[in-house]
Amino acid sequence: MATDKSQIEMQIGQQQALVAQICGQGAAVEQMQKTGRMLIALVSEDDRETIASRLADTQQRYDKLRDDCQGQQQLLQQGLRSLEQFTGSVQDFVSWLDLAERRMAMFTAPSVFVEPLERQQEQLNTLYGEVEEKAENYKLVMMAGEEVMRSTSGDEAMNVKNQLDNVRQRYTDLSNRGSDLSQQMNDALSFARQFHDSHNNISDWLLQVEPQLKSADAVGVEEQYHIIKSLEAELETYKAVMEAITESGARLMQLSPREGAYSIKDIMGRDKRRFEGISEQIQKRSERLRHSRAKLGEVTLDVDDMVEWFRGAETALTRAEPPSTNLQKLRRQQQDHRSLHDEIGQQRARARDLAVAARKLMQETSGDDQESIRARAEQLREAGARVAAFAADRAAVLEGALPLAETFAELHEELGRWLTAAEDAARKQEGATATLSTDAIKKQQDTNKVRVEVGWEEGWSREERGSAR
């Protein structure tokens, strides 16, 4: 049987004509049977068997020919129906395959963004569902083709087989392609969600960190230090997020080349530059703050120690013994005070260096730290000035006391010698009636008064010179 509908229809027409012709001979066969039966009644026994045998053979051949031709006609009609069914089903199926293949080709490059990718996945799932639903149609096409192949042979059968092989190959490829794309879409969606979640996560963190770094300049070193330490800890956490962006982005670029890969590469580049920039800022701030913190602690400690020393010196000066009347002790007091005065001068020189360091440090700090340094520097200045004033007053007192003590000692020594001489003379005159004249005694008193006044004037003159110095 041919596989061309027009040829089959022509064969059916020819077969129908043949069947009609055969059936048209049915009356002749019947007439022959009737005539034969009549002839049998007239002939001999041997001829009777011969005629009967001929009648049976002719009827059998006629019946077989008629039945065979009718059967062939039915086969041709069945073949036509099978061919029509196969042709219709294969054409419909091939048309569906053409459309499905074009639709499937749209998913060769999945999107790299979550929402479009979800829509793509939904569309692909719908298409892949159609492919699975078409499995029954596919079986029917195969069965119809095999039915046609049983009715034909040779080139016609090979033609049908080629059509079936083509449909089988295309449907299998479409089904496998749909399965592969579905898995690829699931992987792409997973990587896209991971990538964009990580991207949004690190972008939000960067948006928070940037103003924190700017506002940190307005607070003290200690508070800045704690802020930066916290950011350093967060930085370690977000390094893992950045690694997730890199890994998921690389997988996305493999799954979606061309435009998708360019988009992901651009996002990854921007995130990497921003993250590395913030990381570098945090690290530089951390290093600078460690240095500033150490320097602040060092300067603060030195200033506090210096203020404490000045307070100790002030206490020592306020509690110092008054100038001694003993010349040797008084000179020792002066010597001790000169040593203290020199030490105060050295400490004030160190205080000036510390003040310079404090002013530089104030330029590097802000907020509470700056105010604290300023207050300590002022406290140091006041303590140094106050101790210097106390030392100057003490030096002046000691300088003024020394000439007075020296004059007092000379007067005391002279008066002591005179008194000793007077007492000796008085004892020698004891018992004598003669007494010292009133004029002689008054003369000696005037001499002593002059000597005392000269001694006091010389002492105050030396004290004034010491105060001037």
Could you write out the three-class secondary structure of the chain? CCCCHHHHHHHHHHHHHHHHHHHHCHHHHHHHHHHHHHHHCCCCHHHHHHHHHHHHHHHHHHHHHHHHHHHHHHHHHHHHHHHHHHHHHHHHHHHHHHHHHHHHHCCCCCCCCHHHHHHHHHHHHHHHHHHHHCHHHHHHHHHHHHHHHHCCCHHHHHHHHHHHHHHHHHHHHHHHHHHHHHHHHHHHHHHHHHHHHHHHHHHHHHHHHHHHHHHHHHCCHHHHHHHHHHHHHHHHHHHHHHHHHHHHHHHHHHHCCCHHHHHHHHHHHHHHHHHHHHHHHHHHHHHHHHHHHHHHHHHHHHHHHHHHHHHHHHHHHHCCCCCCCCHHHHHHHHHHHHHHHHHHHHHHHHHHHHHHHHHHHHHHCCHHHHHHHHHHHHHHHHHHHHHHHHHHHHHHHHHHHHHHHHHHHHHHHHHHHHHHHHHHHHHHCCCCCCCCCHHHHHHHHHHHHHHHHHHHHHHHHHHHHHHHC
Let me know whether 129 and 65 are in one domain: no
Residue 318 and residue 390 in contact, taking contact as beta carbons nearer than 8 Å: yes
Let me know whether 175 and 244 are in one domain: yes
Q: How many domains does the chain have?
A: 3
Burial class (CB in 10 A: 0-12, 13-18, 19+), 95: exposed
Let me know whether 132 and 273 are in one domain: yes
Instruction: Tell me, yes or no, whether 295 lies in a domain.
Output: no
Residue 12 has pLDDT above 50, yes or no: yes
Q: Chain-wide mean pLDDT for the chain?
A: 79
Residue reference for tokens 């001499």: 447
Residue 466 has pLDDT above 50, yes or no: no
**Mean of pLDDT values over 34-48:** 81
Instruction: Tell me, yes or no, whether 416 lies in a domain.
Output: yes
The per-residue pLDDT for 393 is 85
Let me know whether 183 and 267 are in one domain: yes
Let me know whether 228 and 280 are in one domain: yes
CA-to-CA distance for 287 and 289, rounded, in angstroms? 5
Residue 198 has pLDDT above 90, yes or no: yes
Let me know whether 355 and 451 are in one domain: yes
Instruction: Tell me, yes or no, whether 94 lies in a domain.
Output: no
Instruction: Tell me, yes or no, whether 298 lies in a domain.
Output: no
The verdict on pTM exceeding 0.75 is no
Instruction: Tell me, yes or no, whether 415 lies in a domain.
Output: yes
Instruction: Tell me, yes or no, whether 365 lies in a domain.
Output: yes
Residue 343 has pLDDT above 70, yes or no: yes
Q: Which of 199-203, 279-283, 361-365 has the lowest mean pLDDT?
A: 361-365
Instruction: Tell me, yes or no, whether 380 lies in a domain.
Output: yes
The per-residue pLDDT for 434 is 45
Let me know whether 191 and 240 are in one domain: yes
Tell me the per-residue pLDDT of 270-308, one tens digit each, with 9 for 90 and over: 999 999 998 888 888 888 777 776 776 777 788 888 888
Let me know whether 150 and 275 are in one domain: yes
Residue 330 and residue 405 in contact, taking contact as beta carbons nearer than 8 Å: yes
Q: Which of 47-56, 69-78, 109-118 has the lowest mean pLDDT?
A: 69-78
**Mean of pLDDT values over 161-173:** 91
CA-to-CA distance for 181 and 339, rounded, in angstroms? 95
- What is the token pair recorded at 267? 């996002």
Q: How confident is the model at residue 269 (pLDDT cuts 50, 70, 90)?
A: very high
Let me know whether 33 and 119 are in one domain: no
Give percent of the chain with pLDDT exceeding 70. Answer: 80
Residue 202 has pLDDT above 70, yes or no: yes
The per-residue pLDDT for 3 is 45
Question: Which domain CATH number covers 428?
Answer: 1.20.58
Residue 185: which residues within 8 A CB-CB, separation 6 or more?
107, 110, 117, 120, 121, 124
Domain that holds residue 257: 106-287
**Mean of pLDDT values over 330-358:** 82
Let me know whether 370 and 447 are in one domain: yes
Instruction: Tell me, yes or no, whether 112 lies in a domain.
Output: yes
Question: Which domain CATH number covers 204?
Answer: 1.20.58.60
Let me know whether 240 and 129 are in one domain: yes
Let me know whether 132 and 5 are in one domain: no
Q: How confident is the model at residue 318 (pLDDT cuts 50, 70, 90)?
A: confident
More confident residue, 367 or 146: 146
